Every structure is written in structure tokens, then in C-alpha cells.
Chains A and B, each alone.
Chain A
Amino acid sequence: MADMNRERHRTRETAFYLFTQQSLPACKPVLTPGWVVEIVDRYDTECVPEAFRIDKISYIQDDSIPKNCSRFMKVHKYMKAPIYIYYQLDNYYQNHRRYVKSRSDKQLLHGQKYHDTSSCQPVELNSGQPIVPCGLIAWSLFNDSFTFIRERAELKVNRKNIAWKSDRDHKFGKNVHPFNFQNGTLIGGGKLNPKIPLSDQEDLIVWMRTSALPSFRKLYGRIEEDLDADDVIVVNLMNNYNTYSFGGKKKLVLSTSSWLGGKNDFLGHACVIIGSSSLILAIVFTLLHLKYRRPHGDTSYLPWNRKSLSG
């Protein structure tokens, strides 16, 4: 009994203590500014050595030339982790009809067990053997790679979980391994490690969710460290992917994200413009209403009245 009393006393005391000492548990509404910081770096021209600037296509198609290239990126504003790494391609028609349909979802899920891959034309078979994953989309997999160094220390890039979960779980088979991939005479893009099942090849999964517009971004990975203002990041990249033949741009984008996603000026502008135009309209109509009020049901507007009054 006494114990219980003491117990109760103590809890009350504790509560009182917390109160007097101003240390009550509380949620702290800190209004974090919703800034989304974005750094864009176009590197397709800069990463071609001076000597090859005239004929970039021969440069990119020549395997013997080393493709590595270094870029410097200056962080002008504090960037809070996670920082998303995107590559952005312009003038790249991933939504071209021939391109979009050149894939086999069944094969991606079931692998070689699924034979009818006619939809993958023209990248269906190579020397009589089926290609897994087949189709133009997979064949033209983007294969530039990026590493980031800050003050001589490499920044860790997390390349997991960059594809939508539904794609990983339901569209790409867990037991499907790349087979006979990029073995043809023409190499379209990146190669895949045959040991890793497709459901873990997230680069491929991201790439195969074709974009809606000819200018698009795709997620490459995440830097999970904060970047401070005035940090200089060295990007070592392998400039493997051929956008030179069709004049496409390649850009590297570092961006933070808010609940509304990445930095999108248009969304903001649209909101502001629509909101303000509604407001202006409201004011204009109110003024009109007050000043030049058309009486409700003004019969003089009726044509037969107009006629009889004039005649």
C-alpha cells in the first residue's frame, strides 16, 4: 500500500518535475524551408577530348579510346541528404512507337521459358539464341557511370531502390538472368551482369520504364550525405553512351526533393498564375457587379422588346 502510494507520488512528482523544469515531451514544429536545390551539369560535349570534337561519333564508337572524364560541380546551397542523382537525356525519343513496343514483358518476368518474343523485333534473337532481355529498350541501355569525390573522399552512392517497387516485384523476374545480351555485332548500350537476376538490375528497370517525352530524367542513385554550400564535387564519369549520332544532350543532375518532388518551377508558376488570375477575375467581376450592374432579368435585352421600343 505504501509502495503504491509512493509510486503514485513519484509519478506525480516526475510529471511535476518535467513541468517545472520545462522539459515536457513535445513535438517541435520546426518550419524547414522547402527549398529544393538542383545542380545541372551538361557534359556531353565537354567530355569529348579536344581532338575528337569534330567527329564525336567516331570517338564514341571507338572502344580503344578511354572514355573517362572528370567534371567539377560546385554546390551553391546546402543540400540535405538524400541527394538524388539523375541523368538527363534530351532529344531522345524513348516514346517512339517502334521503341516503346520493342520489349517483352512476359520474357522479363518468365525469362527464357517464354518463347514468343516477336514483339521484341528487331532485337529478338542473336545467332539463333534468344536474347534476355530482348528488345530495343533493353538493348539501348544507358551505360554512363558516375562516381563522386568530395575532398578526396569518395561519396557513397546508393544505387538500390531507384526503381518503383511494383516494377521490381511484379514485372522483372527474380529468377531471370540476362542471357546472350549485347553479344551481337552492334552494341546498343550497357551490358548486364548475367549473375544478377533482372529484378535486381535496377538500372535496367529504371531504363525500361520508358519516358513520356523526348527530354527526360532517370534516377541513377542517391548520395546519402549532406552537401554543404561551396563544396566542390569531382565527378568521375565514364562517357560511354552514344548520344552524339543524333545530337542528344546528356546532363547530370543532382537534386534534393520535397513532398512535391523535384524542383519544378512550372508547378509553382502555374499555381501562382492561376491563383492570381482567379483573384483578379474575382475583383474585376466584383467591381463590374458594383459599378456596371446589369439588372437581373432586364427585359430591354429581349429582342422583341428592343424592336418594339425602337419602332
Chain B
Amino acid sequence: MCLLGAMGSGIFIDRKYFYLGLRQNVEDQFNPSKRFLVIILTMLTLLTLYSTIIPISLYVSIETIKFIQSSQFINKDLNMYHAETNTPASARTSNLNEELGQVEYIFSDKTGTLTRNLMEFFKCSIGGEIYGIGMTEIEKGVTERKGIKVQEVQTSNDSVQEKGFNFYDGRLLRGAWRNEPNHDACKEFFRCLAICHTVLPEGEESPAKIKYQAASPDEAALVLAAKNFGFFFYRRTPSMIYVRESHAERMGKTQDVSYEILNVLEFNSTRKRQSVVCRCPDGRLVLYCKGADTVIYERLGSGNDDLNKATRDHLEQFGSAGLRTLCLAYRDLAPDLYESWNEKFIKAKSSLRDREKKLDEVAELIEKELILIGATAIEDKLQEGVPSCIQTLSRAGIKIWVLTGDKMETAINIAYACNLLNNEMKQFIISSETDAIREVEERGDQTEIACFIKEDVKKQLKQSLDEASQYFCAPSGPKLGLVIDGKCLTYALDSSLRIMLLTLGLNCASVVCCRVSPLQKAQVTSLVKKGAHKITLSIGDGANDVSMIQAAHIGIGISGLEGMQAVMASDFAIAQFRFLEDLLLVHGRWSYIRLCKVVMYFFYKNLAFTLTQFWFTFNTGFSGQRFYDDWFQSLYNVIFTALPVIIVGLFDKDISPPLSKKYPELYKEGIRNKFFKWRVVAIWAFFSIYQSLVFFYFISAFSSTSQDRSGKMFGLWDVSTMAFTCVVVTINLRLLMMCNSITRWHCISVGGSILVWFVFIFLYSGITTPLDRNENMYWVIYILMSTPSFYVTLLLVPVAALLVDFLYLCVQRWFFPYDYQIIQEMHKDDIHCTGPQGVLGSKQQLIPDEERSNEISQLPREVSKHSGFAFDSPGYESFFASQSGKYVTPNAWDVARRASIRHKATPK
């Protein structure tokens, strides 16, 4: 623009314009004999003249908006306030708000973030019978999807309430198990729980006060369960375990029983089981064993197929419900058999070389022909609302990667519990725990191990990728899930395999990385951050998550329980994982949409304003004469158009929070950056060009003749003031047109801005000070206001300028509506039926719709069809109702706008 103007000035300047006094004493800028210099200097002049196109105040405004958004809205959102720990959300930085609305990848820690690190005995299967009537969140979700109303389990007041024991079943508790048909199995089951472990009791030997010290929380939960079933383990000596058994022989009888522990076959990751050989007081030798179903089932004795099958069904049921299962079994040992075995065991134990291996081998000899008792199911207690939150987020198009230091089984289990993996998914598991790798590892050559694993990982990756690629294109194919462990990840992150890993990972709906180090967490995060060019978010709670939190675009720390390191390193801190839903879908989405609007509006208003100046330059012989007074130009951005756009940046609300959580798919608009594309910019640019032309040419055409009865003509400053008035009015009104919701603040700020302009111009043109050398503007507004045509112009120009915008908005809404606009329309009546009924009503209305699409998709547990979770938190309804009193909701505006289509002709 400047160049064009400058060239023009070089060509234009000529001595023939005698009235410009160009014959002598001409400064360089207008010297016709130095045309090149004229071009350069005019260029600089025009640069300053058109500098308004660069919205310096944009920076300030956006910072203000972001700061208020984060400090007032995010920090004070009651939906993200965790009352139990008295922790509100806290935004520790204010410049990532809009990125919260575009997150596509979430990297999450497991322990403390998804789970509470609290194991609770939840269910069990004894003798082919399931006990425990609780439901996991997954099961609740499944049943809800099937349309069965979930009946909240009535836990009677007398049920046992203890941390680590979340079991209720009247058939087992308080000795009632004696009445069960398989009470012998129950007794063995409980005994096994009470004896087969490596837990140390601590503190006073009474059921209420004792504390168990266990290597793993699972064991503690199991022993705790035994206590609650009446088998209270209270003391351990090196060779004895003391158990206070209630109801063992008959109801109501309590007796202390001591078991002599002969051997303990400890747990390790290859054995995946643990056994104890003990001698009961009656002299019976028993081996109690608990372990993973795979290893136990291999070692079961023949017979009892019905029981085994029933228990296996139960195990699968538990597993898909996200519970951690263990199988319990026992074996009665004949004394002579035991003695011979014990010799071997002692020998193995005292050997100096390969003791571990030898012990394992010896254990194999006795851990066979087991008799299955049952299975336990422990819930790795998830944080509140995690599965539904994850489901909502994945409907929103966000992919969740779980990065955990835990073992693969645990990680997969949690992934199931969180709905990240399910049985319909195509799962790729890349593990280093294969027999081949183990074999190589045993040989102990480090370089060989490295080479072998690398080759193996490469092979597995390639295979997975080939398999996965056939699903890439098919939209209806199963979702993909990837599980990879840390050791494989070390090699997969190698530069040669990185691309493959990335391609595979990005195409999976969920990825689970287990056994990863904090460094690897960061590596994976930055791999995706750099490789996918998408906004990434990390969430974690502990010190080991700090690197990951720093590596991602947005780091989120879970505040409240563990130390502060994660929070200190994070950008946002929330108390619970489930608040991520509010943070992203509500705050992030709003921030994104608002900031897009603000930026676009700034671009538009400055372009429109500067372009009028540009058109004027063409009519001043390219001399760089300013069209507007200095003060107009500098106050335009600062005062006359500043506040309304900030108000929009703060209060614009397309749909209410419950709706944005009900339709998380709306979030995809942010991921695709739909509101900040070149197309959008071009549309705004088009409107600013059009409007600036309207401003300039309408006003110059009007001013070509006299304006009132006195026949006097307007001068330059009258015309420019008139144009500026029209610009201010139009630009401010355009803002109202693009709002989704109009609160009283919108009206006040828009009206106020226009009013401030008039007050300013009245004062400015009414007062002259000795300091003010330039009297151009003197009395201008009074002259303008005395002519009727000023008012006609003031009506006509904004209407003409906004007519095309209006047309565009109508057509856009009519034929190419944005997703959120449809939602607005669907819920436009919500305001009429206030409160919860309205929300519920629309929800029920939707159910047949959903069922239809369920049938079509033929996937009974298709995740994206799930709905209804958006309203599970209490308080939204009341929040909604209070809002409707305060604000005109978006829907009302929509109605008004639609109605105005028909009334549009009347004002002109």
C-alpha cells in the first residue's frame, strides 16, 4: 500500500501545481526534481500514516482478555473447584488460554492423575459364584448405554466402610457365608487371603486400629478383605502367622489360630504368582497360591472343569470392567511329598549361583495340581469421573496417551478401566516381555540384547503398521489402540524408527506406554509435539511428570495431594482429572473462539479504518495528507473501539457449558482451527475493503454538494469527521452482529463507545487552548450537527456498509451453518423452560436418535454414541437458571436475528 502510494507521489509531483509553491525552497519530500527521494520519503510518511493497520492495542487487549479469562474465569469456576481439598483451579500463566481450545493430544500420567493409588477389594468369585454388588464406572457406562437405568446400590448403614475395602454383599459379610452352599470354598478362600501374603501388621492388635505394611497396595487390600470377612490376621513371627478367625467353625465363635509358615515362594514378574506352604494347627499341610489367571490355570489339577470355566468367565467379566484380578488356589500336600520337595528347596535356597532361577525351578515342582478356589477383583480406584471425562474428551476428538511407570498389565488394566481400551478395539501390543527377548537377555550380552530388541521392535512396529494401515482409510473400522513398554520405546524412539512409531501412534485412538522413565515421557511428548504439529497437553501430579509437563505445549498439574513439583512446572493446576473436561471443553473452547473473534475483529476494524485513509491518499495527489485528525487516529483503537471488543473477548458465549460438554464434538472445530483459517481472514478482509469503500465514496459523494439550506460547503475536516463518525458507529455495530450472546455489557460498551466519541468530538471541537496550534477541528461537529444531511448520512452509511455483512451472515447461517449454530438452534427454547426440566426434556428427546445411529453403526459399544454424562455433576441446573436471569442467552439473540430477517426492510 505504502509502495503504491509512494510511487504515485513520485509521479504526481509537478511544478505545474503552482499553488503548491514548488518553485523554490521546496523540502525534499515534494521536490519535483528529486523524484526518487520523493518516493522514499513519501513511503516513510505513508508508513506512519498507515501504521494504524497494525493493531498495537491488539496485544494489550488480548493480554487483558487472557488475563481476566484465566484469573477470573478459570480460577473462579465453581465447576472446577474441589471442595474436599479446598482447591480451586489455578491458571499459572495467562497466555495459553486459546491453546486449551485446540488440544488434540493429551499425555497423562496414571498414578495420582487417573487413579487415586488406592486399591479396594471390590468383588470376588468363590466356587463359581460372584460376590459383591458394586458396579465400576465402566459397567455403569455400559448399562447406561444399553438404556438400563442404573440403580444406585443401596449400601446399608451397617456395611463396612473402610479404605481399601469397598465390598458389599450380604451373603458373605458377618459370617453369613456359612449359609452359602459352598461355605468350605469360602473358608479356604478367606484363609488363603489371610495367610498367603507378605504383609506385616503394625500397631495395636485390634481390627479397628491395626495397620498393614505391604509391598504392594493390592496385598494390603486383600488382607484387609480377609479381616473384614472375619479372618483377622494380627501377628506375624518369622515362622508363624496368627489369625483371629470368627465364625470359622460355627457362627459367632471367635478363635485365635496360628499357622506355621513353612515356605514362602515369593512373587516376581516372571512367576506372576506367590505361594505359601503352611501347616495348620490340625497338622494339615497346605499350599496356598495366588497369582495371575494365566499361570494359575496352567497349574490346575484335572477335574472341576465347571468351576474353572465359570471362574474364567468371571475373570473376563472383571477384567473388562477394569478390575485387577488374582486367582486363588490351594493344594493339600502329603507330608512325604513335602519333605522331599523341601530338601530340594533348601538346597536351591542355599546355592550360590543362579539362586533365583533355581528357586523358580523348585517352585514349579510343587505348584501344580492346584485346586482353584476363586478369584479376587480389586479396583484400582480411579479418580472421580475419570472414565466419563475420558470418553467425553475422546468424543471431542482428543487422543489420550497414558504414560506410566507401571507394569504393562496394570497399565492395560487402567486403560480398560478408563475406557481407553476395550475389546472392540484393534490392539497392538509391542512388548519386550517376549520369550525370545528373555532368552537373549539371559545370555547377558548387552550389545546383543540391544541389537536383538531393536530388530524385534522394528519388526513388531512394521507388522503393526502394515496391519493398521488397512484400517486407516475405512472410517467404520475398529478403533486402534497401541500399547508399548518402556524398553521397546527406548529403541522405537531411535531416529530410524521414530517415524514409524509416530505414524502408528497418531493413528491410534489411544496409546498406552508403560514402564517409561520420566525422560521417556518427555521424549514421547516432544515426539508428538514436533511430529504432529498439533497442540499437546500433559497432565500429571508427581515429580516424575515434570519433564513431560514442560515438554508439552500446555502442562497441567494435579494439585492437592502429592508434592508441588508438578504444579510448579505446570501452566494450569487443577485438583482432579475430570476438571480437564471443563478446562478444555468449556474454558478452552470459549477462549479459543473468543480470541479468534477478537483477533479477526481487530484485523477487520483496523483494515477498514486504514483503507479509508488509503482511498483518500489517492485523492490527495499521494501527498500523505491525513484524512483524520491526529487525535481521531490515535484514539480510534484506544478508546472508540477498544472496550466492546474486550467485552466480546470476555463474555461472548455461543453455547452454555452443559451443552458444550454434552456435544463435545464441537471441540473439533478448535482442533481443526476452523475459526482462524485464511478463508476466514479473507472474508473479513473482503468486508473491510467493502466497508472502507462505502465509507469513503459515500461520504465524498455526499459532500460534493452543499449540505443544508444555507448553501455552504463542507471542508476537509468536516468531511473527515463525518466519515469518522460513520466508521465508529459502523464498526461498533458490526461487533454486535458477530456476537453470539449480548449481555448488558455489550450494549453498554458499544453504546458507550459511540457516546464517548460524540462527547469527545463535542469537547474537542468546542474548546481551543493556546497550546493547540491547529484549529482545523474547531466547531466542526456543531456545523455537522446543524445539517440534516449529516443524520441522513449517519443512518445510510452504516446500513449500506453492514448490509453485505448481514447478507453474508444470513447465507452462512442458512446454508453453511457452523456446528455450534445448530446446537444453538436445537436448544434455543431452553431458556423458556427454565431449569432442569428443560435440559432433561431435550435429553430424552435425543434418545431415539441415538439409538437409531447405534443400530446403524452396528457396533453395540461404539464409544462415540455415548451421551448423558454431561449432566452428572450437580449444580449445573442451578447455574444455568441463574444465568438466564442475568444474561440474554445466545438463543434469544438468534431468535431476534432470525426475526429481523423479515423486518429488515422496514427501517430503510
Contact = CB atoms under 8 A, between A and B. Distances in A.
A164 B783 contact: yes
A194 to B, nearest CB: 22
B621 A214 contact: yes
A246 B715 contact: no
29 contacts: A84-B711, A96-B625, A97-B624, A105-B774, A123-B21, A170-B778, A188-B18, A210-B715, A212-B703, A246-B14, A257-B708, A257-B711, A259-B709, A260-B708, A261-B787, A262-B705, A267-B789, A274-B908, A281-B803, A282-B903, A285-B904, A286-B901, A289-B901, A296-B825, A297-B827, A297-B828, A301-B817, A302-B665, A308-B865
A82 interface: yes
B709 A257 contact: yes
B704 A275 contact: no
Given A95-B625, A136-B19, A218 B778 contact: no
Given A105-B775, A212-B719, A304-B665, A309 B853 contact: yes
B76 interface: no
Contact of A98 (B30, B705, B800, B908): B30
B853 A308 contact: yes
Given A98-B20, A219-B711, A288-B814, A211 B706 contact: no
A212 B720 contact: yes
Contact of A121 (B25, B29, B701, B908): B25
Contact of A274 (B616, B796, B901): B796
B826 interface: yes
Interface of B: 14, 16-21, 23-27, 29-30, 45, 475-476, 616, 619-621, 623-625, 665, 668, 698, 700-716, 718-720, 768, 773-776, 778-779, 782-783, 787-789, 792, 796, 799-800, 803, 807, 810, 814-815, 817, 819, 822-828, 849, 853, 856-857, 864-865, 901-905, 908
Given A98-B623, A219-B711, 17 more contacts: A97-B620, A97-B625, A100-B716, A105-B776, A122-B26, A212-B715, A212-B716, A217-B705, A246-B16, A260-B789, A261-B709, A264-B702, A266-B698, A282-B902, A296-B825, A298-B825, A309-B856
B702 to A, nearest CB: 6
A199 interface: no
B904 A281 contact: yes
Contacts of A242: 18
A304 B397 CA distance: 11
A274 B21 contact: no
Given A84-B711, A166-B779, A274-B800, A213 B700 contact: yes
B227 to A, nearest CB: 50
Interface residues of A, number: 89
Given A217-B713, A271-B796, A303-B819, A93 B779 contact: no
A191 interface: no
A93 B13 CA distance: 11
Given A257-B706, A299-B822, A96 B701 contact: no
A278 B905 contact: yes
A308 B902 CA distance: 36
A259 B788 contact: yes
Contacts of B706: 84, 86, 217, 219, 255, 257, 261-262
Interface string A250-287: 00000101111111101100110011011101100110
A211 B715 contact: yes
B623 A93 contact: yes
B612 to A, nearest CB: 12
A119 interface: yes
Closest 6 CB pairs of A and B: A297-B826, A262-B705, A166-B779, A209-B715, A84-B711, A140-B19
A219 B712 contact: yes
Interface string A81-107: 010101000001111111110100110
Nearest to B772: A105
Contacts of A123: 21
Contacts of A259: 708-709, 788
B826 A308 contact: no
B623 A106 contact: no
Contacts of B828: 296-297
A215 to B, nearest CB: 7
A95 B853 CA distance: 68
A263 B788 CA distance: 14
A139 interface: yes
Nearest to B907: A278
Nearest to A282: B905
Nearest to A105: B775
A111 to B, nearest CB: 15
B901 A311 contact: no
Contacts of A298: 822, 825
A171 to B, nearest CB: 6
B591 to A, nearest CB: 22
Given A162-B712, A166-B778, A257-B709, A308 B857 contact: yes
A171 B905 CA distance: 45
A258 B709 contact: yes
Contact of A216 (B710, B713, B819, B905): B713
Given A166-B782, A212-B716, A96 B621 contact: yes
Contacts of A215: 704
Contacts of B702: 264, 266-267
Given A122-B21, A266-B701, A82 B901 contact: no
Contact of B623 (A96, A274, A275, A303): A96
B625 A262 contact: no
B803 A303 contact: no
A96 B17 contact: yes
Nearest to B801: A274
Contacts of B665: 302-304
Contacts of A233: none
B619 A261 contact: no
A162 B702 CA distance: 20
Given A122-B26, A299-B822, A166 B783 contact: yes
Contacts of B905: 275, 278-279, 281-282
A305 B853 contact: yes
Interface in A210-247: 210-219, 222, 242, 245-247
A211 B716 contact: yes
Contacts of A264: 701-702, 704-705
A307 interface: yes
Contacts of B807: 281
A261 B722 CA distance: 16
A159 B523 CA distance: 86
A80 to B, nearest CB: 12
Contacts of B827: 297
A270 B800 contact: yes
A101 to B, nearest CB: 8
A113 interface: no
A276 to B, nearest CB: 9
A267 B799 CA distance: 13
Contacts of A291: none
Contacts of A258: 709
A221 to B, nearest CB: 10
B21 A282 contact: no
B713 A95 contact: no
A267 B706 CA distance: 12
A311 B476 contact: yes
Nearest to B895: A296
A294 interface: yes
B705 A263 contact: yes
A219 B30 CA distance: 30
A141 to B, nearest CB: 10
